[in-house]
């Protein structure tokens, strides 16, 4: 598997007609922003939908920050697909590089890859969407709407929550919170009532396996990378309801939310 930067990915998409960008984030995440021309296949659906991308010579996988896309690339390589690449930094790196996204935009869902040229109309739409979704609520002194998350326990749920959503979720019930950072990071500051299960511990998978898989879990790390990978592990172990803190403790504290020491 080859790792490439968002700028390299954009150049490949521009030059290669048989290249496709596959976004493996959740439905809730892509509802917030999308990359023009990208095909959306959530990571948990990828194994059963590889036939949708098998005819492309170059497959570029992208997620929020690079963790899930690396897993997706590994899945594609195991299926003997060619030209597999992981876009490091994910959509965060994509936006930081000044590359285009559309707020609330829709992904390409057909089998044929459509080359999308970002024209002034798309840029204008993006700006309009920004004003409607972010600027307008702020100007009116209200809070921009958050991504709806179904917390029903009737079926398996896995998702990424904003700090606000995460805060509300753990406050509304006797929440099971897992901090997957190292013990030293945990000691320096953690979310109240969080249990520390170190992602880098050789016994990490075994430690998770001792937990009640029928309960809901809210997990976080420093910035979101380790917790994203933890969700994958927990799903493999049979957990059915796991939610990740988007941006990790960094975004949590940037919003002025408390930590215990």
Q: Do 2-125 and 157-254 fold alike per CATH?
A: yes
pTM for the complete prediction? 0.50
| Structure tokens that stand for 31 in this block | 């509802």
Give the CATH architecture of domain 2-125.
Answer: 3-Layer(aba) Sandwich (3.40)
Over residues 6-57, the pLDDT tens digits come to 999 999 999 999 999 999 998 878 888 899 999 999 988 899 999 999 999 9
Which positions of the chain have pLDDT values less than 70?
Answer: 104-156, 173
Three-class SS state of 241 = strand
176: CB partners within 8 A, 6+ apart: 195, 211, 215, 216, 217, 218
Residues β-bridged to residue 242: 158, 217
Sheet with 176-179, strands from edge to edge, namely 157-161, 241-245, 216-220, 176-179, 195-196
Distance CA(49)–CA(213), nearest Å, equals 27
Q: Give the architecture (CATH level 2) of 157-254.
A: 3-Layer(aba) Sandwich (3.40)
pLDDT of residue 14: 94
CB 241 within 8 A of CB 217: yes
CB 189 within 8 A of CB 207: no
pLDDT reported for residue 67: 83
Q: pLDDT tens, 152-175? A: 333 457 888 999 999 999 997 678
pLDDT at 124: 39
Cα separation, 28 vs 173, in Å, equals 22
10 Å CB burial of residue 246 (0-12, 13-18, 19+) is buried
Q: Using the CB atoms, write b or e for 67-79: b if 16+ within 10 Å.
A: bbbbbbbebbeee
Q: Out of 161, 221, 234, 242, which one is annotated catalytic?
A: 221
Locate the domains of the chain by residue range.
2-125, 157-254
Q: Are 204 and 197 in contact (CB under 8 A)?
A: yes
Distances (CA, A) of 30 to 123, 142, 183, 209, 226: 18, 23, 33, 30, 20
* 3-class DSSP state of 16: coil
Which pLDDT does position 66 carry in this prediction? 85
The answer to whether 63 is a known catalytic residue is no
């Amino acid at each position: 598997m080859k790792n490439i930067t968002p700028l390299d990915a954009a150049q490949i998409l521009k030059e290669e007609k048989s290249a496709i960008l596959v976004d493996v984030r959740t439905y809730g995440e892509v509802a917030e922003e999308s990359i023009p021309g990208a095909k959306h296949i959530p990571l948990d659906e990828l194994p059963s939908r590889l036939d949708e991308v098998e005819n492309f010579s170059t497959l570029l996988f992208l997620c929020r920050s690079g963790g899930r896309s690396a897993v997706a690339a590994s899945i594609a390589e195991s299926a003997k697909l060619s030209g597999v690449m992981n876009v490091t930094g994910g959509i965060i790196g994509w936006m930081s590089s000044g590359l285009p996204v559309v707020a609330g935009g829709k992904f390409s869902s057909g089998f044929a890859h459509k080359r999308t040229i970002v024209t002034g109309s798309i840029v204008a739409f993006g700006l309009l969407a920004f004003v409607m979704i972010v600027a307008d609520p702020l100007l009116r002194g209200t809070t921009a709407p958050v991504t709806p998350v179904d917390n029903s326990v009737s079926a398996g749920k896995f998702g990424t929550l904003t700090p606000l959503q995460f805060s509300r979720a753990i406050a509304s019930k006797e929440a099971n919170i897992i901090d997957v950072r190292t013990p030293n990071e945990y000691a320096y500051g953690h979310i109240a009532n969080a249990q520390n299960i170190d992602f880098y511990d050789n016994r990490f998978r075994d430690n998770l396996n001792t937990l009640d898989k029928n309960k809901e879990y809210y997990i976080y790390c420093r910035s979101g990378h380790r917790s994203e990978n933890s969700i994958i592990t927990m799903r493999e172990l049979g957990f059915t309801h796991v939610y990740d803190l988007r941006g990790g403790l960094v975004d949590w504290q940037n919003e002025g939310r408390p930590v215990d020491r």
